[in-house]
Structure formats: structure tokens, C-alpha cells
Structure 1
Amino acid sequence: MGLLFDPPVTTQFISNVERGVTPLPPIHVPVLTRALSISESELTVLLEQEYTAKLSGRLGHTGSGLDNGFMSPANLKIDPKDMDFMRQLYAAYQKSDPTTQHSFISLCASLLKIAPGVIQE
């Protein structure tokens, strides 16, 4: 399995990833999802859940760590065909100025008929 990765990885590296000692580098996600026959979004959701649980445990939190309103739920499912567009959209939103962000939020709320107050500015 290690030879499927570019660059190739050792069995020790794979073992470390399995045990949570070493994080899975994003460059290796496509190879692993092909090997497991799952979508990248499924693997990403699982990695986010594991990371959240691990971090919450280290910080002594019993909750999910996602209740501050700034992080999306780990069980959010995004169709793989939409994932690239959503990433680009979010990256552009993050780089935009506050006026553009406000306009974008208003447009989305109006166009998609999202109830007032659901989208936080």
C-alpha cells in the first residue's frame, strides 16, 4: 500500500497514521480514498470527527467543540461534484472585503430563501 503514495511511504508511517500519531497529509487523501473505495468527503468528515474528538479530549471539553457557530458540523455532507466549487467559493469569500461579504450573504439569503438570522454576519 505504501508504494501507492507519491512519494512512497513506509509501513511505519501508515501505522502511525492509523494510530493517530501522525496526521494524514492532505496530499495522500486521494490515494487513500481510492484504496478504500470511499469519497474524499467521507474521509474528510471522518478525519474531522476524529480530530475534533481528540482535540476536545485534550482540552477537557465534553461537547462536540462545534457549538461556537464558527465551525460546521462534522456530519455535513457535500456532494463530491460540488466540493471543489464550494472550496473555491469559500476561499474567495474569505479573501473578500467586509462590504462584499455582507452583499454576498444578503444575496444568498434572498436567492436561496434562507430565513433571516440563519446566516450569521
Structure 2
Amino acid sequence: MWKDFKEFAFKGNVLDLAIAVVIGGAFGKIVSSLVENIITPIIVFLTGKIELSDLHLKMGGVNLTYGVFLQSIIDFIIISFSIFLFVRLLMKFKRKKEPEKAETPAIDAKEELLKEIRDLLKAEKQ
């Protein structure tokens, strides 16, 4: 059982996934800080002192803080767009490293037979 676990845990895909989770978490914190400390204050400045997290609605004895929810949606959109741009940038670098291969399509037996028949028909016509 230990051998099976060791093979599973040290496969390239599992390690890649673990590294991606750690880097993704750190990247998420950086973007969250960007949103909280730079973008949100700019939005507050441009909208005239309206901070999303302060928006709420009182219904009876319940306080619905929908502004926090809106802020989370904005955070999500900015984080996912940032990750999209980061992955796109990485894919551009990856494409440049890989040399393009000129692949010649493999001709199967049926295609070869059809070519021979075509050539025979051409020879008969002449």
C-alpha cells in the first residue's frame, strides 16, 4: 500500500497540481490585496464616497449586507481575469519554446490503393 501511495503522490501530475494550488493561493492573495487597497479606493473616489461594503438593506430585524456580496463578485471577476491573462502569457511562452514540426500525414492502405487505381485509369485513357 505504501508503494502505491508513493507512486501516486510523486507522479508529475499530482506534484504539478499541488504546486499550482499553492501558487494560485498566493496569486489570489496578491490580486485580493490589489482590489482591496487600490481598485476599491479608486472606485470609492470616482463614485463619490460610495463604498460597496457599506451597502446594506434592513428588513425587519435582519440586516442584508449585499454590498459585501457585490464586492466579492468584483473580486472574483478581477482575480479570474488576472489568472486568465497570466495563463495566456505562459501559453505564449510555451508556444515559442516548442519548435513547429512539419507533419506529413500518414497514408493508409486504402488511400494508396485508390491512388494506384487512379493512376491506372489515367494510363488507360491515354
Q: TM-score range by the shorter chain?
A: under 0.3
Q: Choose between structure 1 and 2: higher helix proportion.
A: 2
